[in-house]
Structure 1
Amino acid sequence: MNLYAIRAIYRFEMARTFRTLMQSIASPVISTSLYFVVFGSAIGSRMVAIDGISYGAFIIPGLIMLSLLNESISNASFGIYMPKYSGTIYEVLSAPLSYVEIVIGYVGAAATKSVMLGLIMLVTARLFIPFEIVHPVWMVTFLVLTAVTFSLFGFIIGIWADGFEKLQIIPMMIVTPLTFLGGSFYSIDMLPPFWQKVTLFNPVVYLVSGFRWAFYGVADVSLFASVGMTLVFLLLCMLGVRWIFRTGYRLKN
C-alpha cells in the first residue's frame, strides 16, 4: 500500500476544500440552517409531535442526511472530474498506484469533507432546536458509512460525466427527490397503506430511518434493514468502481 501517494491525493483534495470554504462549508450550512429556522422553529412549533418527538427535532436527521448525500456526491464527483477535465488524470494513472489507492485518496477526502459538514450541521441545529442523541456511536457509524458510500457513488458519477452539467443531473433529478420522498420531513406511517409499501422501494428511506433511530430510538424500518441496504449499495458502488478501472471506462479512452 503506497501510503505516501494516498496521503498526497488526500491532502491535495482537502486543501482545495479549505481554499473554498464559503462554497464547500459555509453555503450548505447556511442553506440547511434556513430549513432549521423555517421548518423547525417557525412551522415546527405549530405542528403536533411525531412518535413523541417534536417536529423540529424529528426532521433534523432527515435534513442532515439530505445535505450529506448531496455533498458526498458533489465532493467526490467534482474531485475526480477536474483531473479528467484538465488531463492530469493521466499522470495519476501512469503513477505506480493501484486503483484501490487512487480511490482511497479521492473518496477518503470527499467522505471526510462530508462528515465534517454533517457534524457542523449537527452543532448548528442545536442552536435552533433542542434534541438528544440516544445512540451516538450508531449515529457516527451511519454518518461515516453513508458518507463513504455516496462518495463512492459520486466518484462513479464524476468518471461517467463528460460535462459539468452532468455532475448535477443525478443529485438534482434523482437523489434530492428520493430524499424528500424518503421520510425526511415525515414518518412513512403517516401515509396510506398503499403508499407505505411503495415508499419501501425508495432506498433513501432506509438511510433516513436508520439515522433517525440513532437519534431518538424510533424508526420506520428496522435497524438491520437500514444497515443492510447501506452495505448493499456500498458493495454495488465498489463493484462499479472496480469495473471502471478494469475496463478503463472514460479513463483510458
Structure 2
Amino acid sequence: MNLHAVRAIYLFEMARTWRTLMQSIFSPVISTSLYFVVFGSAIGSRITEVNGVPYGAFIVPGLIMLSLMTESVSNASFGIYFPKFTGTIYEVLSAPVSATEVVLAYVGAAASKSIILGTIILATASLFVPLHIEHPLWLVLFLLLTALSFSLFGFIIGIWANGFEQLQFIPMLIITPLTFLGGSFYSIDMLPDFWRTVSLFNPVVYLISGFRWSFFGAADVDVAISLGMTLVFLAADLIIIGWIFKTGYRLKN
C-alpha cells in the first residue's frame, strides 16, 4: 500500500474544501437550515408528531441524509472528473499507484467532507430542536456507510461523465427526487397501501429509515433490512469500480 500517494491525493482534495468553505460547507448548511425552518414551521404547525416524535425533530435525519447523499456524490464525481477534464488523470494512472489506492484517496476525501458537513448540520439542527440519539453507534455506522456508498457512486459518475452537464444530471434529476420521495419529511406509513408498496422500491427509503431509527428507535423498515440494503449498494459500487479499472472504461481512451 503506497500510503504516501494516498495521503498526497487525499490532502490535495481536502485542501480544495478549505479554499472554498462558502461553497463546500456554509452553502449546504444554510440551505439545509432553510429547509428545516420552512418545513418545520409550515408543516410542523399542522403535524405536531410523527410516530410519537415531534415533527421538527423527525425531519432532522432526513435533512442530514439529503445533504450527505448529494454532497457525497457531488464531491466524489467532481474530484475524479476534473483530473479527466484537465488531463492530469494520466499522470495518476501512470504513477506507481494502484486502483485501490486511487479510489481510497478520492473516495476517502469525498466521504470525509460529507461526514464533516453532516456533523455540522446535526449540530445546527440541535439549536432548533432538542435531539436525543438513542443508538449513537448505529448513527455513526449509517453515517459512514452512506457517505462511503454515495462517494463511490459519485466516483462512478465522475468517470462516466463526458461533460459538466452529465456530471450534474444524476444528482439533480435522480438522487434528489428519490431522497425527497424516500421519507425525508414524512413516514411512508402515512401513505396509502399502494404508494407505500411503491416507496419500498426506492433504495433511499432504507437508508433514511435506518438512520432515523438510530435517532428515535423507530423506523418505517426493520433496521436489519436497512443495513442489508446499504451493504448491497456498497458492494455494487465496488464491483462496478473494479470493472472500470479492469477495462479502463473512459479512463484509458
**Residue equivalent to 1:167:** 167
Give, in whole Å, the separation in 1 of the partners of 2:67 and 2:206: 16
The reply on whether 1:214 has 2:214 as its aligned counterpart is yes
**Residue equivalent to 1:227:** 227
Deviations 1:212-237 (A, max 9, x none): 00000000000110000000000000
TM-score (norm 1): 0.98
Q: Which runs of 5+ in 2 are unaligned?
A: none
Letter in 2 for 1:241: I
Deviations 1:58-96 (A, max 9, x none): 111011101100000000000000000000000000000
SS in 2 for 1:44: coil
**Residue equivalent to 1:123:** 123
Deviations 1:15-70 (A, max 9, x none): 01100000000000000000111112454144231111011111110111011000
Letter in 1 for 2:173: M
Letter in 2 for 1:69: M
Q: Would the aligned equivalents of 1:45 and 1:56 in 2 still touch at CA under 8 Å?
A: no
Comparing 39-48 and 57-66, the one that deviates more: 39-48
Deviations 1:191-246 (A, max 9, x none): 11111111101000000000000000000000110000000000000001000000
Comparing 40-49 and 90-99, the one that deviates more: 40-49
Letter in 2 for 1:200: L
Q: Would the aligned equivalents of 1:62 and 1:183 in 2 still touch at CA under 8 Å?
A: yes
Letter in 2 for 1:229: M
TM-score (norm 2): 0.98
**Residue equivalent to 2:193:** 193
Letter in 1 for 2:116: M
Give, in whole Å, the separation in 2 of the partners of 1:17 and 1:166: 22
Any residues of structure 2 matched to 1:93-172 within 5 Å, and which?
Answer: 93-172=93-172
**Residue equivalent to 2:247:** 247
Q: What percentage of aligned pairs have identical amino acids? A: 73
Q: Which runs of 5+ in 1 are unaligned?
A: none
Letter in 1 for 2:182: G
**Residue equivalent to 1:62:** 62
Give, in whole Å, the separation in 2 of the partners of 1:109 and 1:10: 5
Letter in 2 for 1:22: M
Q: After the TM superposition, which parts of structure 1 deviate over 6 Å for at least 4 consecutive aligned residues?
A: none
**Residue equivalent to 1:182:** 182
SS in 2 for 1:147: helix
SS in 1 for 2:233: helix
Report how far residue 121 of structure 1 moved: 0.2
Q: Alpha carbon RMSD of aligned pairs, Å?
A: 0.8
SS in 1 for 2:163: coil
Give, in whole Å, the separation in 2 of the partners of 1:167 and 1:29: 22
Number of residues paired by the alignment? 253
